[in-house]
Amino acid sequence: MTLASAPAAIVFDAYGTIFDVYAVAARLEALWPGKGRAIAEKWREKQIEYSRLRTISDRYVDFWAITADALDYSLEFARAAASAKARASLLAAYETLPPHPEVPAALRALAARGLPLAVLSNGAEAMLNAVLEASALRSLFAHVLSVDRVRKFKTAPEVYHLALDALGRPASELLFVSSNGWDAVGAAWFGYSVFWINRANAPAERLDAPPFAIGRTMSDLVGFVEMGCAG
Ligand code: LAC
């Protein structure tokens, strides 16, 4: 994928792309040995599933509520009984998720090029600001855009439109970055240039998306931008 020129700005997905959503597995493992990774994966899977079902059926509640519901489902699914205190602490972990190790330096390198950076996420506004503040990354972003504003989740086109209004540019001049293959597809369908950080070495989604650039980490994104987004 080649952009006609350097992107006017870069728009980032949050969960999975900037922040490691599976960092909660260690905490879960300490509570329920042998089950941590499975609960963490089910938690993420149900969180995304509920966001889609609520969008399709016009039943919006914010991503914090969805994250709590998905946690409760996943704990019961794994027959993991949690005290109210343990549940609250697991949920609170979402406000202090660590960034993937290479992310802070990569974001600083991109910001140093003078590129406006934005977050566009399913996350509720308060949870996004909390996790960005906790990792000291908030000041790198010109905009933190939550789907709260349109009361629909990705991949609704209204969500991807939010960054166009904020940045005052058409999608074709913006680079959208996500580690979630389905989100990369949604953004490409909408008309963004896209860089997929394929951290999990997952197969490409079979969804007839326009072609987009692919790397393994956010450091690869920095290389891509330094090369003029050719490749
Ligand atoms: C987000 C989800 C897709 O941050 O991870 O929007």
- Contacts of residues 227-231 at CB distance under 8 Å and 24 or more positions apart, as own/partner, are 228/6, 229/1, 229/2, 229/3, 229/6, 229/7, 229/175, 229/193, 230/2, 231/1, 231/2
* Best CA proximity match to 153, nearest among 54, 71, 73: 54
Q: Which amino acid is located at 31 in the chain?
A: L
pLDDT digits (tens, 9 = 90+) for 47-68: 999 999 999 999 999 999 999 9
**Ligand 1 binding pocket includes 15 (Cβ within 6 Å):** yes
pLDDT digits (tens, 9 = 90+) for 145-184: 999 999 999 999 999 999 999 999 999 999 999 999 999 9
pLDDT digits (tens, 9 = 90+) for 3-38: 656 899 999 999 999 999 999 999 999 999 999 999
The residue extents of the domains of the chain are 9-19+97-230, 21-95
| CATH architecture of the region 21-95 | Orthogonal Bundle (1.10)
Cα-to-centroid distance, 13 and ligand 1 (Å): 5
For 9-19+97-230, CATH number out of 1.20.1260.10, 3.90.180.10, 3.40.50.1000, 3.20.20.140 equals: 3.40.50.1000
For the chain, how long is the longest CA-to-CA vector?
Answer: 55
In angstroms, the first-to-last Cα distance of the chain is 6
Separation of alpha carbons 45 and 199, rounded Å: 17
Cα-to-centroid distance, 200 and ligand 1 (Å): 16
**Ligand 1 binding pocket includes 13 (Cβ within 6 Å):** yes
